[in-house]
């Protein structure tokens, strides 16, 4: 980086030292980009206004130690800090480097006159460090993708196998139940018809024997319960068929193309898959407005909704409420999933999208759900946002453009 173009913030309460540094810097060609302040408070004010490219800070300032600036969230990451310490204070400076400072110099006339070279070297190191962090992050992300792809492929295969096995028997169970309902109706009609004839043709003794028999077997209850039992069984078998269909769709997830899709259907299909996981911990409230067709890979969006619903369910202790709302906002569609669970702490909220970050016990969470979900949403040209408080719960918002025009990655891939 060209030093002359840099924006440098000097934080030093000793005016002589500050101007010595400034002089060296202007000799090196840095003229307009130098700001000098003399306290931590002013430092924070300056950073809030315009973050510098680098800060040179005296270790001891009138209102605190420069080390405190290192832990401030505003300073974490965007620019490096070079510390200055007086002779004898090196140990503190070394500690500061462990805490995140880039480097330190021991104050002396020579150190001031070579500050430009020191800065250049420090900035080169900073650059390398940033590049390394970037590469590490990319590596972590692609590793997460590979793991997830393998996980999904394995689940997909399993789901497809199970679905295939269940498909046939559930098909004939449903069809037989339908026929049974019809036959039962006919048999009941026949019995009623016979009853009327017996009533007319038989003698008193037979009629009373028949009445006794009917009472004994509780014929009225039996007929109404028989109908109910059949209706329930039919409903159950239809639900199983639905789950089988969902599993089949799910296992085809990766091969599908981005097409104009009915997101309400995707939402309902996903809910059917996770209903059982949710129903013991939360009420699920749906607020679905009319949505335009959204160009997307519906199975992938289903996967995102599933991850968010599962997370919401896991956040609830006892019995809670999960709300799923969907509406169109301008050129986008928004799906909001809100829970009144334990929320996410300020410290963790920075990390939840990182692959492998989880607060769940081993075996319960891999920490991939949100990383993958954000990846999918971004590929669709959208955003996955979070708001959370440990007192009221969490809302995740999936915002998708209605048209894929803004999602070059996805349209190229499919």
Ligand X SMILES: Nc1ncnc2c1ncn2[C@@H]1O[C@H](COP(=O)(O)OP(=O)(O)OP(=O)(O)O)[C@@H](O)[C@H]1O
Residues contributing to the site for Mg ion (CB under 5 A): 311, 369
Does 394 bind ligand X (CB under 6 A)? Our answer is yes
Of 81 and 326, CB closest to ligand X: 326
Computed on alpha carbons and rounded to an integer, the radius of gyration of the chain in Å comes to 34
Of 71 and 348, CB closest to ligand X: 348
Q: Where are the alpha helices (DSSP H) in 280-384?
A: 298-315, 346-349, 369-379
Please count the CA atoms within 13 angstroms of the CA of 333 that sit on its side-chain side: 25
Residue 392 CB, shortest distance to ligand X, in Å, is: 11
Cα distances (Å, whole numbers) of residue 339 to 30, 158, 311: 53, 31, 9
Identify the helix (H) or strand (E) that includes residue 383.
Answer: strand 383-389
Residue 281: strand, helix, or coil: coil
Pick the piece of the chain touching ligand X (CB under 6 A) from 63-71, 103-111, 198-206, 344-352. Answer: 344-352
Q: What angle do CA 292, 293, 299 make, to 5 degrees?
A: 130
Residues contacting residue 355 through CB under 8 Å, at least 6 positions apart: 140, 141, 143, 144, 367, 368, 371
Of 116 and 282, CB closest to ligand X: 282
Does 124 bind ligand X (CB under 6 A)? Our answer is no
Residue 413 CB, shortest distance to Mg ion, in Å, is: 25
Of 26 and 358, CB closest to ligand X: 358
Q: Residue 373's closest CA among 148, 147, 139, 140?
A: 148
Residue 312 interacts with which of ligand X, Mg ion, none, CB < 5 to 8 Å by class: ligand X
Residue 311 CB, shortest distance to ligand X, in Å, is: 3
Which pair of structure tokens corresponds to residue 253? 């997830």
Residue 352 interacts with which of ligand X, Mg ion, none, CB < 5 to 8 Å by class: ligand X
Q: Which residue is nearest to ligand X (CB)?
A: 369
List, in sequence order, every residue forming a beta bridge with 400; answer none if it has no partner.
Answer: 333
Write the binding mask 351 to 370 for ligand X: x where contact by CB under 6 A, - elsewhere.
Answer: -x----xxxx----xxxxxx
Cα distances (Å, whole numbers) of residue 19 to 6, 26, 246, 303, 342: 18, 10, 71, 59, 53
- Pairing label, strands 320-329, 282-288: parallel
Residue 355 CB, shortest distance to Mg ion, in Å, is: 12
Residue 151 CB, shortest distance to ligand X, in Å, is: 9
Write the binding mask 304 to 343 for ligand X: x where contact by CB under 6 A, - elsewhere.
Answer: ---x---xx--x-----------------------x-xxx
Residue 360 interacts with which of ligand X, Mg ion, none, CB < 5 to 8 Å by class: ligand X
Residue 72 CB, shortest distance to Mg ion, in Å, is: 31
Identify the helix (H) or strand (E) that includes residue 276.
Answer: helix 263-279
Of 175 and 390, CB closest to Mg ion: 390
- Binding-site ranges for ligand X (CB under 6 A): 307, 311-312, 315, 339, 341-344, 348, 352, 357-360, 365-371, 394
């Amino acid at each position: 980086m060209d030093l002359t173009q840099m924006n440098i913030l000097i934080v030093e309460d000793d005016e002589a030292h500050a101007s010595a540094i400034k002089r060296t810097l202007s000799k090196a060609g840095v003229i307009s980009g130098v700001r000098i302040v003399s306290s931590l408070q002013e430092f924070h004010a300056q950073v809030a206004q315009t973050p510098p490219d680098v800060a040179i800070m005296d270790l001891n300032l009138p209102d605190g130690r420069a080390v405190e600036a290192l832990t401030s969230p505003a300073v974490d990451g965007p620019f490096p800090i070079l510390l200055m310490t007086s002779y004898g204070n090196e140990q503190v400076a070394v500690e500061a480097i462990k805490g995140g400072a880039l480097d330190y110099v021991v104050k002396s006339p020579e150190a001031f006159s070579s500050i430009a070279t020191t800065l250049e070297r420090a900035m080169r190191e900073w650059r390398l460090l940033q590049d390394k962090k970037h590469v590490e992050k990319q590596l972590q992300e692609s590793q997460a993708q590979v793991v997830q792809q393998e996980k999904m492929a394995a689940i997909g295969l399993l789901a497809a196998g199970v679905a295939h096995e269940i498909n046939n028997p559930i098909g004939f169970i449903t069809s037989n139940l339908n026929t049974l309902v019809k036959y039962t109706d006919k048999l009941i009609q026949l019995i009623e018809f016979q009853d009327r004839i017996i009533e007319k043709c038989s003698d008193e003794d037979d009629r009373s024997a028949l009445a006794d028999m009917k009472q004994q077997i509780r014929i009225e209850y039996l007929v109404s319960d028989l109908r109910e039992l059949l209706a329930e069984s039919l409903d159950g078998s239809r639900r199983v068929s639905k789950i089988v269909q969902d599993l089949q769709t799910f296992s085809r997830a990766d091969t599908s193309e981005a097409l104009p899709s009915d997101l309400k259907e995707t939402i309902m299909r996903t809910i059917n898959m996770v209903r059982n996981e949710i129903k013991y911990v939360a009420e699920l409230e749906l607020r679905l407005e009319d949505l335009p067709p959204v160009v997307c890979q519906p199975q992938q969006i289903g996967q995102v909704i599933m991850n968010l619903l599962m997370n919401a369910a896991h956040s609830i202790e006892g019995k809670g409420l999960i709300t799923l709302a969907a509406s169109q906002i301008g050129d986008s569609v928004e799906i909001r999933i809100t829970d009144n669970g334990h929320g996410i702490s300020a410290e963790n909220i920075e990390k939840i999208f990182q692959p492998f970050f989880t607060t769940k016990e081993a075996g319960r969470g891999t920490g991939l759900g949100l990383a993958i979900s954000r990846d999918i949403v971004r590929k669709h040209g959208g955003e996955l946002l979070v708001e959370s408080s440990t007192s009221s719960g969490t809302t995740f918002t999936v915002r998708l453009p209605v048209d894929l025009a803004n999602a070059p990655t996805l349209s190229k891939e499919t």
